[in-house]
Amino acid sequence: MRRHNLALVLGEVVAAEPVSRAALAARTGLTRGTVSSLVEELLDAGLLDELAAERSGPGRPANPLQLNRSGPAGLGVEIEVDHISACVVDLTGSVRATARIPSAHRDAHPGVAVGRAVALARTVRAEAGLEVVGAAVAVPGVVAADGVVVRAPNLPQWSGAEIGPLFDGLPVTTANEADLAALAELWFAAGPPDALYVSGGVGVGAGIVLGGQLFRGVGGRAGELGHVVVDPDGPNCRCGGHGCLEQVAGQEALLRAGRTTDLDALPPHVLDGAARALGVALAGAVNLLDVPVVVLGGIYPRLGEPLRAAVHDRLCERVVHRSDVEVRLSALGPGGALRAAAASVVRERLRRP
Amino acid sequence: MRRHNLALVLGEVVAAEPVSRAALAARTGLTRGTVSSLVEELLDAGLLDELAAERSGPGRPANPLQLNRSGPAGLGVEIEVDHISACVVDLTGSVRATARIPSAHRDAHPGVAVGRAVALARTVRAEAGLEVVGAAVAVPGVVAADGVVVRAPNLPQWSGAEIGPLFDGLPVTTANEADLAALAELWFAAGPPDALYVSGGVGVGAGIVLGGQLFRGVGGRAGELGHVVVDPDGPNCRCGGHGCLEQVAGQEALLRAGRTTDLDALPPHVLDGAARALGVALAGAVNLLDVPVVVLGGIYPRLGEPLRAAVHDRLCERVVHRSDVEVRLSALGPGGALRAAAASVVRERLRRP
């Protein structure tokens, strides 16, 4: 009960900070005495911070409360096929330090990338100077509910890998990159409560958001959009199939088709091909799930409005039950999943103080 | 509260009939007096029936109770592209009368098929001789949450149709045929709690069951598997797209490809083509939803084990996150949706007596 009330008070601080004890009592329906006692405990735990007193009348001053910017922090790590990034967020979810390094480790044992990630994490932790209480790692692969990487077609040696134990003794969770990117859209960009979030990179993943919650599927492995078939006679894919979406609309496929190493230099016919493939795969997903919004993230926002408009047209041609499906470009950029990973740590701490 | 307790008592009768008042008190935790009073009300409402007394000792005999087989009944109607069927089930969900007529009404106004359905319903109602308290109509199309048929690609004049008001003044709900077939699998065949149920007919639909519940999507329109693209260069579809699953694996496409009018006379290469297409579409759906079981219903069980095995192999080739997905043939046959429609009426009555 007390635990529940601690979380209740914290939730109201998140919603309304800076906020007085009296306002917290009014918002929670708890007595002022109870609130004061809970607040003391949260101050002691370093979760809350007391601002300078505002003397508004006689008696004890009403020190407003806010989340402690020097309190427990979360570490986020993203391991992609060709780079690694890390960041630390404080209790408010603000990024306090971030870094990114190129790292080619496609055919390496997971230990190689994780070793580099641990070193990079040490750098950002030192820069942030906060007490990191946990970490979450975003990976471009299917992650089971227990955190084991079931399969990462673009990191073939990662099947069955457990990342947590490799991480300096911190409590670590592992999650699919697209799922975290979808949460980023919800948490930091007021994203729609029912949407399919598509994350374009070397692979193409999706996070499904239904009723404001991430839909994970029975085994936590939902959203593998990149291996939806868009052309049964198409090129071989690293997953063992062929004609998968990411063989047409993934980053490497796009650069190969455009004979360039620069995403900004893709000719229109390459974008058209990607839009057609995304339209086919997304229409199938929308027909199945009945979601009104698709958000294109990862590398796709960089390809701009022409890609968005073409995907929208291709998609709507093939959706049978809605006259329109909104297609948006994510405003968060490719760092969304990383920030959501770090934020997931502090959100959990605030939910269970 | 009394309403809640009435439903509670009825639920226990459903689970344990025939059952004594004393056993109901023990199972519900209500007092024997309360149970007796609730039972009186349910007997008066015609929902329960008292069996012959079993005199097991001195005092009042302990008449066991069961659902009233002569009580309120449900009417189910299924309107397909080439036939109409109707049935009446009693409170236990047992079919008490059923009938089916061929009816070609593809290009007709909905009133034509509904007129025939109303006449057929009169026949089965007369045969059953029960008091029908409501009806549910299964249609091969997308049905919005308010019962309006959003779109039925194989019944082009049905867009925007409301069937309820055409039905003799009975309270009528309208639902997607594949959704009802999925519920039939759950209710009458102890179907798995997480599964994709595929209903093959002229169209191909799907009902998605997650956690033992039908997943309907934001607008109640989820599960449109038939218009998932399996071949971007494939034949035109009535939905306006091309290369949709039902253009390869729907009943008419199969008969056309086999140059026959008999589903039992399809050559193996036609079944192979259907299995390949179903494998592509279902792998996409399983990759997105992460469900462990696919149930093939409608016309597919008639095509037998070779189709099932081929779909299983094609599907598993392309699923990235599970080493195996179980593919079953429905044991219910094509009448499942019809029976579930009728049963949905009495289940609702038992849930809200």
* DSSP bridge pairs for B143: B149
The answer to whether the Cβ–Cβ distance between B287 and A224 falls below 8 Å is: yes
Residue A239: CA count within 13 A, CB half-sphere: 32
Same domain, yes or no: B196 and B280: yes
Look at residue A162 and give its three-state secondary structure: coil
Same domain, yes or no: B237 and B135: no
At A219-269, the pLDDT tens digits run 888 999 999 989 888 889 888 888 999 999 999 999 999 999 999 999 999
Same domain, yes or no: B238 and B340: no
The answer to whether the Cβ–Cβ distance between A283 and B223 falls below 8 Å is: no
Residue carrying the six token digits 């309270």: B171
The answer to whether the Cβ–Cβ distance between B281 and A284 falls below 8 Å is: yes
What CATH number has the domain bearing residue A96? 3.30.420.40
The count of residues in chain B is: 353
- What CA–CA distance (Å, rounded) separates B331 from A10? 53
On whether the CB atoms of residues A144 and A150 are closer than 8 A, the answer is yes
Strands B132-139 and B73-79: parallel
Q: Residue A229: which of B210, B220, B280 has the nearest Cβ?
A: B280
Out of B33, B67, B101, a domain closes at: B67
- What CA–CA distance (Å, rounded) separates B23 from B207? 37
The answer to whether the Cβ–Cβ distance between B288 and A292 falls below 8 Å is: no
Same domain, yes or no: B115 and B144: yes
The answer to whether the Cβ–Cβ distance between A287 and B224 falls below 8 Å is: yes
- What CA–CA distance (Å, rounded) separates A349 from B3? 42
Helices (H), chain B: 2-16, 21-28, 32-44, 110-128, 177-188, 246-249, 251-258, 268-289, 300-318, 336-351
- What CA–CA distance (Å, rounded) separates B150 from B138? 14
Contacts of B307 (CB under 8 A, 6+ apart): B271, B274, B275, B296, B300
The answer to whether the Cβ–Cβ distance between B223 and A321 falls below 8 Å is: no
What integer pLDDT is reported at residue A84 of this predicted model? 96
What integer pLDDT is reported at residue A60 of this predicted model? 59
Look at residue A326 and give its three-state secondary structure: strand
pLDDT band at A150 (very low <50, low <70, confident <90, very high): confident
Distance from CA of B249 to the nearest CA of A (A): 15
What CATH number has the domain bearing residue A14? 1.10.10.10
The answer to whether the Cβ–Cβ distance between A284 and B283 falls below 8 Å is: no
Distance from CA of A209 to the nearest CA of B (A): 11
Average pLDDT taken over every residue of chain A: 91
ipTM value of the model? 0.85
Chains A and B form CB pairs within 8 A to the count of 134
The answer to whether the Cβ–Cβ distance between B322 and A284 falls below 8 Å is: no
Same domain, yes or no: B175 and B251: no
Mutation target for A interface from B229, B294, B326: give the one with most A CBs within 10 A.
B229
Q: Is A123 a residue whose pLDDT tops 80? A: yes
Residue A25: CA count within 13 A, CB half-sphere: 12
What integer pLDDT is reported at residue B39 of this predicted model? 96
Residue carrying the six token digits 């492995």: A221
Same domain, yes or no: A46 and A77: no
Out of B67, B98, B123, a domain closes at: B67
Out of B67, B86, B105, a domain closes at: B67
At A13-61, the pLDDT tens digits run 999 999 999 999 999 999 999 999 999 999 999 999 998 876 666 655 5
Look at residue A335 and give its three-state secondary structure: coil
Q: Is A209 on the interface with B (CB under 8 A)?
A: no
- What CA–CA distance (Å, rounded) separates B179 from B64? 36
Look at residue A226 and give its three-state secondary structure: helix
pLDDT band at A109 (very low <50, low <70, confident <90, very high): very high
At B255-311, the pLDDT tens digits run 999 999 999 999 999 999 999 999 999 999 999 999 999 999 999 999 999 999 999
Smallest CA–CA distance from B236 into chain A, residue: A318
Distance from CA of A299 to the nearest CA of B (A): 21
Same domain, yes or no: B56 and B90: no
Contacts of B33 (CB under 8 A, 6+ apart): none
Residue B122 amino acid letter: R
Q: What is the mean pLDDT of residues A4-10?
A: 94
Mutation target for B interface from A320, A323, A324: give the one with most B CBs within 10 A.
A320
**B147-179 burial code (b ≥16 CB/10 A, e <16):** bbbbbbbbbebbeebebbebbeeeebbbbbbbb
Q: Residue A284: which of B150, B194, B229 has the nearest Cβ?
A: B229
Smallest CA–CA distance from A148 into chain B, residue: B321
- What CA–CA distance (Å, rounded) separates A83 from B160? 51
Same domain, yes or no: A201 and A308: yes
Smallest CA–CA distance from A316 into chain B, residue: B241
Q: Is B216 on the interface with A (CB under 8 A)?
A: yes
Same domain, yes or no: B30 and B146: no
Q: Is B46 on the interface with A (CB under 8 A)?
A: no
The answer to whether the Cβ–Cβ distance between A290 and B218 falls below 8 Å is: yes
The answer to whether the Cβ–Cβ distance between A227 and B289 falls below 8 Å is: no
The answer to whether the Cβ–Cβ distance between A320 and B231 falls below 8 Å is: no
Q: Is B234 on the interface with A (CB under 8 A)?
A: no
Q: Residue B227: which of A219, A220, A320 has the nearest Cβ?
A: A320
Residue B129: DSSP 8-state:
T
Q: What is the mean pLDDT of residues A187-195?
A: 92
Same domain, yes or no: A167 and A217: no
Within its chain, how far is the Cα of A106 from the centroid?
22
Q: Which chain A residues are Cβ-neighbours of B150 within 8 angstroms?
A: 321
Q: Is A338 on the interface with B (CB under 8 A)?
A: no
* DSSP bridge pairs for A229: A244
The answer to whether the Cβ–Cβ distance between A291 and B225 falls below 8 Å is: no
Same domain, yes or no: B109 and B168: yes
- What CA–CA distance (Å, rounded) separates A274 from A265? 14
Same domain, yes or no: B32 and B106: no
The answer to whether the Cβ–Cβ distance between A241 and B317 falls below 8 Å is: yes
Q: Is A317 on the interface with B (CB under 8 A)?
A: yes
Q: Is B58 on the interface with A (CB under 8 A)?
A: no
Total number of domains constituting chain A: 3
**Containing structural domain, residue B110:** 73-181+336-351
- What CA–CA distance (Å, rounded) separates A130 from A68? 11
Q: What is the mean pLDDT of residues B165-182?
A: 89
What integer pLDDT is reported at residue A57 of this predicted model? 60
- Percent of chain A at pLDDT > 70 equals 97
What integer pLDDT is reported at residue B299 of this predicted model? 93
At B38-58, the pLDDT tens digits run 999 999 999 999 988 766 666
Q: Is B102 a residue whose pLDDT tops 70? A: yes
At B22-31, the pLDDT tens digits run 999 999 999 9
